[in-house]
Structure 1
Amino acid sequence: MSRTTKAAGPATLAAAARTPVWRRIADPRIAVLIVAFLAIWKVASMVIGGYNVPTISSVASQLWETASSTEGLQNLGITLLRVGIGLGVAFLIGTALGLFAGASKSAAGYLLPIVRFIQGIPSLSWVIIAVIWFSNVELRVFFVMLLVTLPGFTLQTYDSYRAIPAELRDMARSFRPSRWALFREITLPGVTPGLFTAWKVNLGLGIRMVLIAELVGATVGVGSQLLTAQQLFDMAAVVSWTLLLAICMLILQAVIDGIEAYALRYRAVPQQAAAKDATVSSPDLSAAKG
């Protein structure tokens, strides 16, 4: 007698990619972590005091007031708009530079050292430079966002392009396709996974940098509201704004995950085929023992 043993790796990955976002969020383990966090928060508030660690009820009340008010939504929307514009422009420029560097070794020799040099400059230094150079707050925020997130998009695109097998490109060129067809069928599918990775990393980085830039001179936005709360020693407002922004980031990450799963859905087909091909027969050792 024999039994079949199926390789679970590719099939498991494919199933995970098809799992809806709401099911991953509704994981019981997430609920356990949330309950444990709230319990620790409750104890800390009782032991340390509500001044440094505000009560859950006060934060919930402040969070609801912020999320339901026109002023709160405007400040949140302005911050997210700044993040979106900065990331969008950095994505377009970084992707173009990464593809150019990947396609030309001479271009890579000039571009990559500059990009890596920009990446090595501390983010706070860019904020200080922006404050000195620009009097307009929007220009400050955009400048900081662009310089901080551009290297990530550029280098990720470059690495993804270089990872495309040369044999695959040579085989495609043997059919004499147009440049657009070669880009659409070979280059774009090859760099797309790396671009999604860059978006996930730069989203959190971009939100943090916008907050820091808004702390310096901005009159609207989440950063300015956090500064006001700090000046008033209003810890409940600080926590509520932080939670609201964290919730928005989780939602945006879920949106990116959903778009990624849809854009890369073609990868599940070869993974399932590979899982079937990896099915092997092995002797039933339990029967042999009997």
Structure 2
Amino acid sequence: MAAPSLSPTVSSTSLEAAAAAKRRGVRRLFDPGVLVLVVVLLGAWAIVSRFTPAYAVPPIPSVLKELRTILSTPDSLLGLGTTLARVLIGLASSFVVGAALGVLMGVNDLVSRFCLPLVRFVQGIPSLSWVIIAVIWFADVEVRVWFVMVLVTLPGFALQVYDSYRAIPADLRDMARSFRPTRWALFREITLPAITPGILTAWKVNLGLGIRMVLIAELVGATIGVGAELLTAQQLFDMASVISWTLLLAVCMLVLQGVIELIENRVLRYRPAVAERGQAKPVLASGKD
């Protein structure tokens, strides 16, 4: 006999709230205050660049010219794609291992007792130490980058999933067991919805951390990638190239963050919007003067 579904029904109100949240996000992107801030920053940049050497603060036209060169050069685009591929492969690997470890630590007290201190210990090791260890242990650049990515970002996934699992109310779990579901049904209907917000949060946090770590790892021995391009620019005192590559990576990270937010809005569309959560519930009239 199939176990009954325990998933909450998504109301039309929740769907409307998700659509409204998307519209608010677009309005925030083109908010006049944001546009004014961008104009002010560009104006300050233009003024400062007139009184400083080009190797310190390059003019805006030089940066735009360098951006056009990068975007029109196949080798440069290959380097950017290689860096992003390293980031995504490393994050995917650490997510699979970290999420599985987080669930195991939540389910089994014995696993939690032995693995939780180890995960916290790994999290406390400086990222630069992992880079040096990877250089000593591995000769292949790809293995170095993957090793550093996994060791630095895995604790974030594991601890987020573990904390999300522990936050599941015991009454909810007991209520679900009263329907006699299979283990897979219990995981699908109770555990997975509970840990999904933590997973998405971990992805958003580890995305920026992963990009930074890949750049550091690429600075040591890599011949292709954004890190290698930045090292070459540093040796040539080419600040326009440094700023151009930095802006490209920042834009790529914003795009990836936007993709994660779209997934979050879709998967967690049952949650009320921020404005709705801040509204007070209406008080019903008692009928007495």
Structure 1 length normalisation: TM-score? 0.88
Q: In 2, distance between residues paired with 1:203 and 1:210? A: 11
Within a 5 Å distance, the mapping from 1:192-207 to structure 2 comes to 192-207=196-211
How many angstroms does 1:90 deviate by?
A: 0.3
Q: After TM superposition, list the pairs within 5 Å mapping 1:5-154 onto structure 2.
A: 17-19=21-23, 21-154=25-158
Q: Identify unmatched segments of 5+ residues in structure 1.
A: 1-9, 283-290
Partners of 1:276 and 1:228 in 2: CA distance:
54
Q: Distance in 1 between matches of 2:24 and 2:217?
A: 35
Cα distance, 1:74–1:36 mapped onto 2, change above 3 Å: same
Query: For structure 1, which segment, 28-37 or 141-150, has the greater mean C-alpha deviation from structure 2 after superposition?
Result: 28-37
Tell me, in whole angstroms, the C-alpha distance in 2 between the residues paired with 1:20 and 1:254: 14
SS in 1 for 2:200: helix
Query: Quick one: percent identity of the two aligned structures?
Result: 62
Please say if 1:265 is aligned against 2:265.
Answer: no
C-alpha distance in structure 1 between counterparts of 2:44 and 2:183, whole Å: 58
CA displacement 1:180-224 (0-9 Å, x = unmatched): 111111001100001110000000000000000000000000000
How far 1:276 moved relative to its partner?
Answer: 8.9
Q: Could you tell me how far apart the structure 2 residues matched to 1:18 and 1:70 are?
A: 35
Q: Partner of 1:279 in structure 2?
A: 282
* Partner Cα separation in structure 1 for residue 161 and residue 62 of structure 2: 45
| Equivalent pair of 1:21/1:254 in contact (CA under 8 Å) | no
Give the helix-richer structure, 1 or 2.
Answer: 1
1:216 maps onto 2:220 in alignment: yes
Q: Matches of 2:278 and 2:25 in 1, distance apart? A: 24
Preserved contact between residue 45 and residue 55 of structure 1 (Cα < 8 Å): yes
Cα distance in 2 for residues equivalent to 1:123 and 1:116:
14
CA distance in 1, matches of 2:231, 2:284: 65
Q: Does 1:228 align with 2:232?
A: yes
Q: 1:14 offset after TM fit, Å?
A: 6.0
Q: How far apart in 2 are the matches of 1:80 and 1:276?
A: 41
Alignment correspondent of 1:243: 247
Structure 2 residue matching 1:267: 3-state secondary structure: coil
Residue in 2 that maps onto 1:176: 180
Pair 1:276–1:201, CA change in 2 (3 A): closer
Q: Distance in 2 between matches of 1:100 and 1:14?
A: 32
Matched residue type, 2:206: N
Alpha-carbon distance, 1:23 to partner: 3.1
Asked if structure 1 preserves the Cα contact closer than 8 Å seen for 2:18 and 2:265, the reply is no
Aligned residue for 2:174, secondary structure, equals helix
State the AA in 2 paired with 1:121: I
**1:73 to 1:277, Cα distance in 2 relative to 1, 3 A:** same
The code of the aligned residue for 2:246 comes to T
Change in Cα spacing, 1:16 to 1:145, as seen in structure 2 (3 Å) is farther
d(CA) in 1 for partners of 2:278, 2:250: 38
Aligned-residue offset at 1:19: 3.0
For residue 91 of structure 1, report the CA deviation from its aligned partner: 0.4
Task: State the distance in 2 between where 1:200 and 1:30 align.
Answer: 22
1:90 is aligned with what amino acid? S
Q: Which deviations, in whole Å up to 9, do the C-alpha atoms of 1:106-144 show, x marking residues without a partner?
A: 111111000000000000000000000000000000000
CA distance in 2, matches of 1:16, 1:154: 32
Preserved contact between residue 210 and residue 223 of structure 1 (Cα < 8 Å): yes
- CA–CA distance in structure 1, aligned partners of residues 254 and 218 of structure 2: 21
Task: State the partner residue of 2:5.
Answer: none
Q: Is the 8 A contact 2:82 2:224 kept in 1?
A: yes
- Aligned alpha-carbon RMSD (Å): 2.3
Answer whether contact 1:230 1:238 (CA < 8 A) is retained.
Answer: yes
TM-score, length-normalised on structure 2? 0.88
Unpaired runs of at least 5, structure 2:
1-13
